Amino acid sequence: HPLADKLRERGIAVSDRGWIRVGPTLQSVSHPEIFAAGDCCTIEGLPDNKPSPPKAGVYAVRAGPLLIENLIGYLAGKSQDDLTKYNPQSDFLKLLMAGDGTALGFRFGLALYGKWVWLLKDKIDVMFMDLFQAENLPVLDESKKGDRLDTSQYDAAQDNKPRLEPKEAAELLLRTDDDVDFQAAWGVLRSMMKDDEYKSKVLSYAEVTQV
């Protein structure tokens, strides 16, 4: 890409594919005063030699608060060692609208499909966009300078319903009919994220081999 070529010509470290090379603090490996996050960068030096995450919005969203925090810290004179390191999640819920009122999904090796998957994606998208409504923007409190930024807004969904038994949960996720309660299915997926034992039981009933 011409922009990547321009960056390279100016000595900014970019990958062979043109992504800005940054470390876990989201600072350029060649110019620490330059920060990058999301699709424009590739992250090096992650814990346990993890590869840079794929190009997906969830990683950009999660990196956003940390990027702001580190920019503020850098401008305040913090050293690189004192900045927060980004440790991206290893997997995420993949959702794709099919254009006919249904959607496809993939998580934990499970293929998801149906109207309920469309409703789930729509709910997640609307919740995210609602964060930018004026009444939902975070209050910048001068008295709390130095505090970690509140990222709870990105986990706003609440698991208020009782957890389904693993067999019932597996059967629910595999359904494709229009009567599936997407909120209940979402609750199952969130419970699987939080509890590895529960996740294993659900997957065993769904006859999915874990990699």
pLDDT 10s digits, 3-17? 899 999 999 999 999
At 67-119, the pLDDT tens digits run 999 999 999 999 999 999 999 988 899 999 999 999 999 999 999 999 999 99
Which structure tokens are listed for 175?
């359904």
User: What is the reported pTM?
Assistant: 0.76
Q: Which CA distances in Å does 203 have to 63, 101, 108, 110, 142?
A: 30, 27, 8, 8, 47
Reported as a pLDDT band with limits 50, 70 and 90, residue 210 is very low
**For the chain, the helix, strand and coil percentages under 3-state DSSP, each to the nearest 5:** 45, 10, 45
pLDDT tens digit sequence for 128-143: 888 888 887 766 555 4
d(CA 37, CA 39): 7
Are the C-beta atoms of residues 150 and 182 closer than 8 Å to each other? no
